[in-house]
Amino acid sequence: MLGTTGDQMNTSVLDLPAPVAPRLRRPGWRDPRLLAGVAMVAASVVLGSWAVRTAQRTVPVYVARDAIVAGQRVEAGALAVVDVRLGSVDVGRYLSAEEPLPTDGTALRTVGAGELVPRAAIGDAADVDVRPVAIGLVRPPAKAVTVGALVDLWFTPSDSAGAGDEPVDDAAVDAADAEAADSARPHPLATGLTVAEVTRPDGGFAATGAATVQVLVPTDALPGVLAALSADGTVDVVPLPGSGG
């Protein structure tokens, strides 16, 4: 029986089919993997071309020829058109030259010369919270006092010269005298005001230095500035360094 069993096992092993090695076949055009790869390559090419075209595309926007100050009417003559690339700036924030200018558009803040005109800087005249005030100067203004520059207003009372020559001993005078002495010294009226216009004398009148500077004064500072202009003293326009000229 042992022999018979061994013969049966040998016969069963010999009857098994021999394994066949798989053969590699070249993928055809209908292979899903090949089709997916081709689709990915085509999509990347199309996307890259679109990105390049978008980056190189330009749109026309408005730029200020000269400084535009708050309260000034924004008209086509004060603007120029430049082409700006999409992606370099957020062009939606600026006035597009492809659209008509706002009717009766007024600058709400200063737009510097050569600056793209922001949409938020243009609005209604009623929204402007500054008022132009003309300051007559007794001395020639500094070269830095130009349209769009920032300046401070200082007031010097007419009797401040005598008070400034002799030091005031606050410990020897009472509070009323100390307050009077302080009021006689030069003091600031308003700071950080924008220059809207500068009128300088020409020809033979240039030596006199009589010039007028129009500044934009916030409405809450108007009482103090107007009171100083009507008082006995001098109002000086002092430019902030680096803001003009």
pLDDT digits (tens, 9 = 90+) for 107-146: 999 999 999 999 999 999 888 999 999 999 988 888 899 9
Average pLDDT over residues 136-158: 91
43: pLDDT strictly greater than 90: no
B/e letters for 76-91, b = 16+ CB within 10 Å, e = fewer, are eebbeeeebeeeeeeb
Rounded CA separation 80/243 (Å): 23
CA angle 221, 225, 228 (to 5 degrees): 150
Rounded CA separation 172/160 (Å): 20
In this prediction, residue 91 carries a pLDDT of 76
3-state secondary structure (DSSP) of residue 190: strand
Rounded CA separation 186/175 (Å): 19
The DSSP letter of residue 19 is P
Token pair, residue 231, equals: 């008082």
33, containing H or E segment: helix 32-56
Phi, psi values for residue 167, rounded to 5°? -65, 145
Token pair, residue 193, equals: 């005001």
Burial zone of 221 (CB within 10 Å; 0-12 exposed, 13-18 middle, 19+ buried)? middle
In this prediction, residue 201 carries a pLDDT of 76
Q: Which ranges of 124-159 would DSSP assign to H, the alpha helix?
A: none
Q: What is the pLDDT of residues 64-107, one digit of tens each?
A: 999 999 999 999 999 999 988 766 567 788 999 988 988 889 99
26: pLDDT strictly greater than 90: no
* Strand ranges inside 97-142, DSSP E: 106-107, 122-123, 130-137
Per-residue pLDDT band for 45 (boundaries 50, 70, 90) equals confident
117, containing H or E segment: none
Rounded CA separation 45/34 (Å): 17
Phi, psi values for residue 97, rounded to 5°? -75, -10
Give the residue, 189 or 6, on which the prediction is more confident.
189
Per-residue pLDDT band for 163 (boundaries 50, 70, 90) equals very low
In this prediction, residue 132 carries a pLDDT of 93
